[in-house]
Amino acid sequence: MATTMKNESEKWTPIGNVVGTASNVEFTFVMKSYHGRVGDIVAVRMLVPSEQLGREVTAVVWGRVVAISRYNPFFPVEAAQELANEGIRPLDTVLSISRDQLEARCVVLGFTLDGDPDFRFQPLTYPIEPAGEVLRPPKDALEGLLTGPRAEHTDDIPIGHLISRPDVEVKLETIPLLARHMAVLAMTGGGKTVAARTIIHHLATIGYPVLILDPHGDYLGFYHKKDRLPDGTVVRVFYPHLSLSSDNAWIVTLLLEKMTTGQTEPQRHALEKLMKDNPVSGQTLSEYFATLRKKAFESMEDEDGGGKGKGATLGVVIRQVNIVEHKLQEMERMNQTIRQRIPGTSFEQLPDTTREPWEIIAPKHVSILYLGGYDHLTQSTIVSIVMENLFGHRARLDGTIPPFFTVVEEAHNFIPGGTETTAGTPSLETLQKVITEGRKFGTGLLLVSQRPSRIDATLLSQCNTFLVLRLVNPNDQGFVRRVMENLTDEDARVLPAFGPGQGIVSGQAVRFPVLVNIRMIADFQSPRLGTEDFISEVDGWRKPSAAHKLGESDRRIQQRAARRKRKDQ
Amino acid sequence: MAQRSSEGKPRKGKGKVREKANKEPSLLALVASTVGSLSASRQSAFLEEMDDLVETFRELLDGKIKKVSLNHAAAWASLNGKAVGFVDGGVANLQGIGAAPVAIRVGTYVVRPGISGPSRERFTFTQHLIGELFHTRFDEEDSEAVFDEPSEMETKMRDAARMITEASGTLRLVEKQPDLSLVFVHGPLVNPVAPYADIPSLSKEAVERLTDEKGSDKEDDRHFIAVYKGILDRLKDTGVPMAGIIERSSSKSLMNSILGQHESSMRPEEVGDIKTRLKEFGINDALLFSFLLEAGEYLEFQPIDKNLRAKAPEKWEDMIVSYPHPLTTILKATQTSFPFRVETWPKTPKATTEELLRVTYHMARLLPRYAFPVGIDIADKFAKFPAWLSNQLSREMAATLLRKALETGDPETIRQVQMLLSSRSRDWFFRPSWSE
């Protein structure tokens, strides 16, 4: 849509005039009351120098309102104090309450040539015209500006609409998003999951493979409402089931080190020898720990003849293996229990990501890996192994899986930075590789976090598109300000004032930073895990029944039998 | 010396000035600024003399000091829905280029308390004078100026132009909006005019602009004293209750008026002694009444003749003595502030003067530190020429002058104008140029 003002003059509404000293990067205008808001995109039509010296061309300079100050010079502060003390309304006195002055500060986005149908954006290198008329652009012009010269926009993701213009849709360009990663940052309730769901929904609509790493079940709505996705879309929900291989045997050492009180040098040697004598061969973690325990017992019996010291060391290692095995089993049980609380969901065991990656990643597939019940270390371990294997397939170009997009919920737990413990987070290294090299292999990431300041800054800055919704924590605000290069101070100040679903999107997926109201797709909301009516549950609570007590008895018997079995081994 | 009590003991209330000055830093500052210009012996005697004078005036004013009760709810309820107007003039600070540029405007603010919506407030400029202060023989035919001819009394001409423009702006407001219940003006309602007897007459176009009537061919009819009197009479005759508010007055008219009223009951030597001490110690109305009045107190209104026959030149004597004698009082709004003077038209009914004072007092209470009626403060801010506008006007005038010089094509004229425009107080304006 062209920006020719002659034909569309009736749609370009004057809302103020430029005042003060204007530059090529920012300007201020006095605004007509109630004719603009922070986040608005406005235009100033003016002459700029052309490439030929001494000649000029007509341009439409675009700006974004980043702050509006409003003051009434006729309403003195001391009068307000007196009114408050005396309990009287300004309206009842002779005080003036109507002379508001509105000064809107704008950052210059760039300019387009008047009449350019493609809205080719150019940097402004000439100052804004003082006293220039500031215009509110019509919908068509704004949409043209937001979209730019791309011929086809069918794949673009309709993320929402301009915060102050419900009539102007905001779309994210898909290609840079899929290859170059995106971060969605917001405090709890800010709308980050809603935004992620909107993006996932669109990718599912175009059949692009999506893997969701979901610690809380926020995305299970896609499974329950899969009939509302296009025909042929497959939505699968997996629970973790990891197979060990020689490539990831380090996990055993890590879990033993982190889940227990740590290992001494002799204990570490003893474990390494055990592992060397019993190499991993496709077992699950639990199975391999059981094998290690059994072999350690056997060795200990042999060592008893050879010296008490070695036998004692092996005894400690066995206890450590026991602890880890037990914890893993507890977490598996917890995961299972939570899964049972989500009715109508058919959870599948996670296929072997080495041998059957196509079961997870395939066109028109949305795969959700439900990580509920596992602690951070184990979740990180699982994510590390899964992503390592899937990325490996893409990096080897072995043709087993197509490009895919991964949603990492609670990203601060998987790529922690700063003061967080990075040594015990195996996923950090893996995701670092995916982020750094993902653009070459089509393994884009969507990092979703409510605590951005706990994410590794270097990795976060690799994201080329940001959607920042409401953030109240000053550390998070400061961190985001540092990481996002084109976030202005005013933008950072407005972050805590955003309502749910309101935010600022910037980066390669948009032409310039815009304030956006995220589109809410209610269909795919998840079952409300964690927000069930616990009060009603307590109200209806009864003493454990006899049958329940019998069940408890069964459980104790089983535990006792398992202990005996281990002892016998 | 003032009368002492019969036993020669200090009178009741003595020592209050020192106590007040110690308690109220603003009063102490006023005392300090006054005392600073006195001799050492008078400085040491100042507080004691002040104490005595305050006590003397308190006795003279026995029963004439009144008080407004502070009751915001009742005060504002009494104005509910009524139109209240405020007037103030603004004068641009123009750099001296050309003959004598002048830019004066009158801003008005009309508000209806208790009413919401767009009809509650109205801000307008009711009068303005922008152009040259006086005509010169070089003027073009269509040029406008305030006075007919130049004069050395430029400062007085500017003062006169300001006073008459403000009065004219007030008149326009009142005549165009007859439903005004009260009108408050920043400054006196009536100014002394005798000092302006020798300034040139106003130009015809200025008279027309100021009075909305055709300017007379007779120079005397267009003289400031005559035209100003005509505007004041029209204002007075509108019958709209009106008050002029004067802040930080250095006048002694109230003290003199009080002494004048008691001439028959005081020995002439006592009156003379008081007047001498007031003069020697630099005490004016504001200083005396700062100590004499408490918050909310004011004097009973009394007529003040600002245009005395004794000071009037013979030519204008009859007209000057016929100027209105405004009723005047002084009101102290808060304990820590200076009192301000309030004037209203003669023969204003007592109920109206009380209403004017009640509203004035409650408006001043809305600015507790400044202690000045807030409505006038609003009009003042509205009318004031911002610095950027004054600067822009100066630039425009400089550009016009230079353009005219360039149009002549005469190198000497252009050089003179360039030197004029770039001159500063200590530069080379009068030095020989390199070409000489």
Residue A222: pLDDT above 50? yes
Q: Which of A349-353, A375-379, B189-193 has the highest mean pLDDT?
A: B189-193
Confidence of residue A73 (pLDDT cuts 50, 70, 90): confident
Residue B115: pLDDT above 50? yes
For the segment A463-512, what is each residue's pLDDT rounded down to a tens digit?
A: 889 999 999 888 888 888 888 877 888 888 888 889 889 999 988 888 88
For the segment A283-302, what is each residue's pLDDT rounded down to a tens digit?
A: 778 888 888 888 888 877 76
Q: Do A95 and B118 touch (CB under 8 A)?
A: no
What DSSP letter does each residue of A223-275 carry, written as one string?
HHTGGGSPTT-EEEEEE--PBP-GGGTHHHHHHHHHHSS---HHHHHHHHHHH
Confidence (pLDDT) at A410: 92
Confidence (pLDDT) at A4: 47
Closest CA to B249 of B320, B315, B342: B342
Q: Do A94 and B367 touch (CB under 8 A)?
A: no
A93, closest residue in chain B (CA to CA): B113
- Taking residues A293-318, report their average pLDDT: 73
Confidence (pLDDT) at B383: 92
Q: Do B378 and A96 touch (CB under 8 A)?
A: yes
Q: What is the mean pLDDT of chain B?
A: 85
Angle between helices A426-441 and A376-396 (to 10 degrees): 30
Residue labelled with tokens 């107080």: B425
- Taking residues A417-442, report their average pLDDT: 80
- What DSSP designation does B189 have? S
In this complex, is the C-beta atom of B233 within 8 Å of any C-beta atom belonging to chain A?
A: no
Residue A530: pLDDT above 60? no
Test mutation, B366, B376, B391, B392, chain A, max A CBs within 10 A: B366
Residue A315: pLDDT above 70? yes
For the segment A321-348, what is each residue's pLDDT rounded down to a tens digit?
A: 888 888 888 878 888 888 887 878 888 9
pTM of the full predicted structure? 0.68
Residue B379: pLDDT above 80? yes
B366, closest residue in chain A (CA to CA): A79
User: Considering only CB atoms, which chain A residues are within 8 Å of B370?
Assistant: 76, 78
Q: Do A92 and B111 touch (CB under 8 A)?
A: no
Q: Which of A394-408, A551-565, B39-53, B157-171 has the highest mean pLDDT?
A: B157-171
Closest CA to B320 of B417, B235, B228: B228
The CA distance from B77 to the nearest CA of chain A, in Å, is 7
Distances (CA, A) of B421 to B98, B291, B400, B416: 10, 51, 11, 9
For the segment B156-186, what is each residue's pLDDT rounded down to a tens digit?
A: 999 999 999 999 999 999 999 989 999 999 9
Q: Do B120 and A91 touch (CB under 8 A)?
A: yes
User: Considering only CB atoms, which chain B residues are within 8 Å of A83?
Assistant: 366
Per DSSP, the three-state class of A416 is strand
User: Considering only CB atoms, which chain A residues are within 8 Å of B369?
Assistant: 78
Q: Do B114 and A92 touch (CB under 8 A)?
A: yes
Give bridge partners of residue B202 from the DSSP assignment.
Answer: B147
For the segment A29-51, what is each residue's pLDDT rounded down to a tens digit?
A: 999 988 898 889 999 999 999 88
Residue labelled with tokens 């152009």: B131
Q: Do A82 and B381 touch (CB under 8 A)?
A: no
| Cβ atoms A75, A43 nearer than 8 A | no
In this complex, is the C-beta atom of B114 within 8 Å of any C-beta atom belonging to chain A?
A: yes
How many Cβ atoms sit within 10 Å of the Cβ of residue B334?
A: 20
B111, closest residue in chain A (CA to CA): A94
Confidence (pLDDT) at A319: 86
Expressed in angstroms, the distance from the first to the final Cα of chain A is: 78
Residue B259: pLDDT above 70? yes
- Taking residues A426-451, report their average pLDDT: 89
Confidence (pLDDT) at B208: 94
User: Considering only CB atoms, which chain B residues are within 8 Å of A88?
Assistant: 72-73, 76
Closest CA to A498 of A139, A37, A105, A171: A37
Distances (CA, A) of B225 to B163, B201, B218, B232: 11, 9, 14, 11
Confidence (pLDDT) at A9: 38
- Taking residues A300-308, report their average pLDDT: 59
Pairing of strands A404-408, A210-214: parallel
CA A529, chain centre distance (Å): 19
How many CA atoms, within 13 angstroms, populate the side-chain half-sphere of residue B201? 15
- Taking residues B399-427, report their average pLDDT: 77
Q: Do A79 and B77 touch (CB under 8 A)?
A: no
Distances (CA, A) of A470 to A117, A157, A496, A515: 35, 21, 5, 12
Q: Do A94 and B375 touch (CB under 8 A)?
A: yes
B363, closest residue in chain A (CA to CA): A94
Residue labelled with tokens 């896609």: A222
Q: Do A74 and B378 touch (CB under 8 A)?
A: yes
* Token digits of residue B133: 């202060």
In this complex, is the C-beta atom of B245 within 8 Å of any C-beta atom belonging to chain A?
A: no
ipTM given for this complex? 0.82
Confidence of residue A7 (pLDDT cuts 50, 70, 90): very low
B370, closest residue in chain A (CA to CA): A78
Confidence of residue B4 (pLDDT cuts 50, 70, 90): very low
- Taking residues B35-44, report their average pLDDT: 78
- Taking residues B268-276, report their average pLDDT: 89
Confidence (pLDDT) at A406: 95
Confidence (pLDDT) at B114: 94
Q: What is the mean pLDDT of chain A?
A: 84
Confidence (pLDDT) at B160: 95
Confidence (pLDDT) at B351: 94
Residue A270: pLDDT above 50? yes
Distances (CA, A) of B115 to A79, A91, B118, B120, B364: 19, 7, 9, 6, 21
